[in-house]
Structure 1
């Protein structure tokens, strides 16, 4: 409990320091008392509701929509004001050295009139950009679905599969949805791709199987001539909530697994399937969750027992750290791995061909998009749903379509 209150105290100090500097910037550019009172009042309400949520959260319920939006509201105000803090703190450092130089130098040093006000105006203008971005991300960005298409060529792809298409979705996190119409739109996008096979790479719920009840019929609408297959993600095990008994947790896990056949997906639990076409075949392997440092239920060797090294292989593994630490160098040669998990942290900057950044890049080497090493590929889908922060800023929800090509045919 002492650790709990220590964390709460640290948060309170951070909030206070950020607000102190942000308010100084406001005071510099306006003398309007009403605006100042509104600024203070909104800040108090934002932080008070977050602290209330923090004090009253329970591991029995896990993350709820209320807790997500509580966190989102704090980020909405905290991040822009943190930018103000950095800007104004930088100005304070400049002023400090100016004063020191006045003391140590005989030369007269003139300050720029109104510099503080000018810096404050610039800082407020800059801070308005992330505020608008986060507000958009919470209202619309989380449903701003993008269809990303790739074409990958392989020397040893069976000729029958030249032009074979896969649609990958991942991280549905159904417990976070609050707009069935938008979700239906995304499901319709998946259907429009008319891919040969649909693959789902884990995290169908946040914690509880019941989260999916309202979406079973919707996701069952997806069809593919060569089948729909899925694996589990870290959230599907119920490890992030405290169940009353181990029996309850086990029952929930069984119910989560039962969702997959209800919506027409063949759930692969450390096992494989052969996909056959015109007398040729490729191997599809699905492992349970394997993450660096946690929940390593995935067993690649067990999942690959029924296939041969010479087979062309597609691996479904929820966490891309599995590819980094176990898969990419494996001489059994897994040609293409499909992952998710990171969500690209649901916030970042992506300008195709120029800039690609997210805080997720400091945690995962492969965090969003297609990567290639040793002639093997991993695609890290940015996720279908959202979790934690109830929005997306610059990292949009994704439906991936991959076309397989035989290199000799391609050339």
Structure 2
């Protein structure tokens, strides 16, 4: 109940300021009508979608669209609040001063104590508000399929010589239940294969909730191909923890169905297990843990078990869905995991990024390692921004990612 009261209060304040700015700029009743129709339809649809939300069915595409359009409605209005409230910081004191200091009794005329809103301030606010509005709509229409191939070269002095120049492709967070364009997904799979990496590694969250979400895309993902195979792990969404099942057996069967789908695609699913890739008498270890995340997320990952038959001196690549696992357990482990591959954060699907120069997203307040390559204690992690999307049906500034990492022996040249 409290959440709805807060929601109504925010919407009410936002609409008060937004409509004030609109009235300052135009006197057209048509624009007023368009404003209120759009507002009522978006908010009404959101309430309709979530008032009777059925957890047994899970989060649907119609739910996601309701969230997307609500964000497109509210965020621009929050920009307007900032601009208009800044103007009120000056208007209100002037009005109070006028009310107490100006005597209108002698003239018999009513003095207008509060200064009128300035048209150009409202125009600035509306102009600034159109930027996130247009960006959010673009992110919902095209940004969610704006796949980017990000390439990195990482150097390791103890990399086996036979693996000098070895290439791996990482994808993460497919979230197939959110897709609405099968052709765009097929394009992305072709893009992955074009990289011609030696191995393809998937770091969890194939679905939102149910294995059946992957059914329309299984044949497309079966086209994935790499010389040394495909390997995968589970993410927090793959366990089916976010829907209400009729029974524990149904939930268990869903997970088994998902495992079968991964096998059908060609993935070797690592459940706290490891595999060796051998080349010219040398080897590297692939270690895959089940999901482990702090902050209430499932902690099924067992690093010790996953590395049970690996030597300490082996070169190790760890697949772990949640980057908080790297921070909490992996970095300081005496086994020294040379490279960890994670996902999970999606980069919040929203942010500002200039590759190689600047990146920012609100998700950085939740995760220290949230997108791209990081290095601590001689160990690397790549946090993939995700292949798909979840909840908000789009991406703004943080695009879907296909990562290609080349391993090189020796130190990086200055």
TM range (shorter): over 0.9
Aligned to 1:131: 133
Cα RMSD after superposing both structures: 1.8
1:224 and 2:226 correspond: yes
1:165-202 CA deviation, whole Å, 9 max, x = no partner?
Answer: 00000000001101000000000000000000000000
Question: What TM-score, normalized by structure 2, do the two folds share?
Answer: 0.94
1:360 is matched with 363
User: Please, which of 25, 28, 31 is the counterpart of residue 21 of structure 2?
Assistant: 25
The answer to whether 1:372 aligns with 2:386 is: no
1:183-332 correspondence runs (5 A):
183-293=185-295, 294-332=297-335
Equivalent of 1:153 in 137, 155, 158: 155
Distance 1:410 1:312 in 2: 21
* Distance in structure 2 (CA, Å) of the matches to 1:103 and 1:59: 55
Partner of 1:392: 395
Segment drifting more, 113-122 vs 251-260: 113-122
* Residue of structure 2 in register with 1:79 after alignment: 75
Q: Is there any run of 5+ residues in structure 1 with no aligned partner, and where?
A: none
How far apart, in 2, do the equivalents of 1:100 and 1:375 lie?
Answer: 62
TM-score (norm 1): 0.95
How far the C-alpha of 1:217 sits from its partner, in A, is: 1.1
SS at structure 2 position matched to 1:323: helix
Please say if residues 153 and 410 of structure 1, whose CA atoms lie closer than 8 Å, have aligned partners that are also in contact. Answer: no
Q: CA deviation at 1:50?
A: 0.3
Give the distance between the partners of 2:353 and 2:258, measured in 1 at CA. 34
Residue 337 of structure 1 aligns with which residue?
340
The unaligned stretches of length 5 or more in structure 2 are: 103-112
Within 2, Cα distance between the matches of 1:291 and 1:348?
A: 23
For the Cα contact (< 8 Å) 2:24–2:117, is it kept in 1?
Answer: no
Question: Relative to structure 1, is the Cα distance of residues 317 and 351 closer, same or farther in structure 2, using a 3 angstrom cutoff?
Answer: same
Task: Quote the residue 2:56 is aligned against.
Answer: 60
SS of the residue 1:171 aligns to: coil
Aligned-pair distance for 1:99?
Answer: 4.1
2:162–2:279: 8 Å Cα contact kept in structure 1? Answer: yes
Aligned twin of 1:43: 39
Task: Give SS of 2:298's match.
Answer: strand
Summarize deviations over 1:130-154 as a string: whole Å, max 9, x none: 0000000000000000000000000
Most deviating of 89-98 and 295-304? 89-98
2:351 to 348, 351, 356: 348
**How many residues are matched?**
403
147, 168, 172: which one aligns with 1:166: 168
**Residues 171 and 85 from structure 1, CA distance in 2 versus in 1: closer, same or farther, beyond 3 angstroms?**
same
Question: Aligned with 1:296: secondary structure?
Answer: coil
